[in-house]
Amino acid sequence: MRALGINAQQTFELAELPEPIFGDYDLLVRVKAVAVNPVDTKLKASIKPDQIGLKVLGFDACGEVLAIGTRVEGFAVGDRVFYAGDVIRTGCFAEQQAVDSRLVAKAPQSLSDLEAAAMPLVGLTASEALFDHLGFSLDAASNQGKRLLIIGGAGGVGSMAIQLAKQVGIVVIVTASRAESQAWCKQLGADQVIDYSQPLRPQLVQEVDRILCTADTDSHLDNMAACIRPFGRICALVSPRQPMDMNRFKNKSVGFHWEFMFTRAMFNTPDKSQQGVYLQRLAEAVDAGVVRSILTHQGGQLSVETLQAAFEQVASGRMIGKIALKGF
């Protein structure tokens, strides 16, 4: 099969690789569309000069099931599915991919392959942050009056978190600075948009109950300490570049959580099927018209040139929404 791998010089190569070997719980998927995420650019930059062979990345896909493992439940050959996969397995920048069925759901019927491929990783990250770490309820009545601050509202995770939070009745405040970013966040349902280039607390009427930081963690620690209420919770996505002084959160008894979407797959946790549940719930919300795809850029068909261009666009840090490409 054809695949786009990264060599030891950190450049893409088109190669012929063996078809994936799939296990008892796996689906073999013909990849029809993929999306690019910041994690892809970080992993590409981490490739060492002594790497042997090619590393195939890609953690957002929509495709068709070609075969199923002996212990797979709920899927059949021919199903159209979407998923974000597993960071320790071969990625989706290929014609075919083997993926654990418990991390997969049937794709939204109302979306194109490109639109569906733009949603799994950010949808899962936002779901886990909101409901696993920040403690919000799926019952809107239980979230009445709760205030969430999303730092970095226009990116992929922020764009999904706005929609998922509004779906369950949360008051959503987001940061964005450019006019187009602010407009995008308001279109998705944000109740208030504030400027992250200025101190955040003076822009808020009151402290917030929860904070989701999708942007650079180091530069927002003081902002978060000032904005969070006593006994509030914070969830961050981006690894710090230097040791973090957590004393700034102590007097408010704040809970600080990390979200890494690949944890369930990486450690084979007993609840790894929760990712399939979250994706199915997301698909149902999309088909009900409650949540929309955040695809904003179509990058063409997979090739060395188009994938490199997509990586550069994501790495620029100025993306609104997501970029997706057609499969081979």
CATH at residue 232: 3.40.50.720
Q: Do 94 and 127 share a domain, yes or no?
A: no
Q: Are 58 and 3 in contact (CB under 8 A)?
A: no
Would 8 be classed as within a structural domain? yes
Task: Sort 53 into a burial class: Cβ within 10 Å, 0-12 / 13-18 / 19+.
Answer: exposed
Q: Of 243, 283, 275, nearest to 259 (Cα)?
A: 275
Q: Do 100 and 161 share a domain, yes or no?
A: no
CATH code, domain carrying 109: 3.90.180.10
Q: Do 142 and 237 share a domain, yes or no?
A: yes
Q: Do 132 and 248 share a domain, yes or no?
A: yes
Specify the pLDDT at position 318: 81
Specify the pLDDT at position 197: 86
Q: Which two tokens stand for residue 310?
A: 């997509």
Q: Do 170 and 133 share a domain, yes or no?
A: yes
Q: Do 58 and 161 share a domain, yes or no?
A: no
Specify the pLDDT at position 6: 96
DSSP secondary structure code for residue 195 in this structure:
-
Would 239 be classed as within a structural domain? yes
Specify the pLDDT at position 196: 86
Domain boundary (209, 238, 258) is at 258
Domain boundary (233, 258, 283) is at 258
Residue-number span of the structural domain to which 163 is assigned: 123-258
Would 288 be classed as within a structural domain? no
Specify the pLDDT at position 294: 95
pLDDT along the chain (328 residues), means of 10: 95 95 96 96 92 94 98 97 96 98 98 98 98 96 96 94 97 93 95 92 95 94 96 96 93 98 97 98 97 95 96 89 96
Would 283 be classed as within a structural domain? no
Q: Are 174 and 190 in contact (CB under 8 A)?
A: yes
Specify the pLDDT at position 168: 96
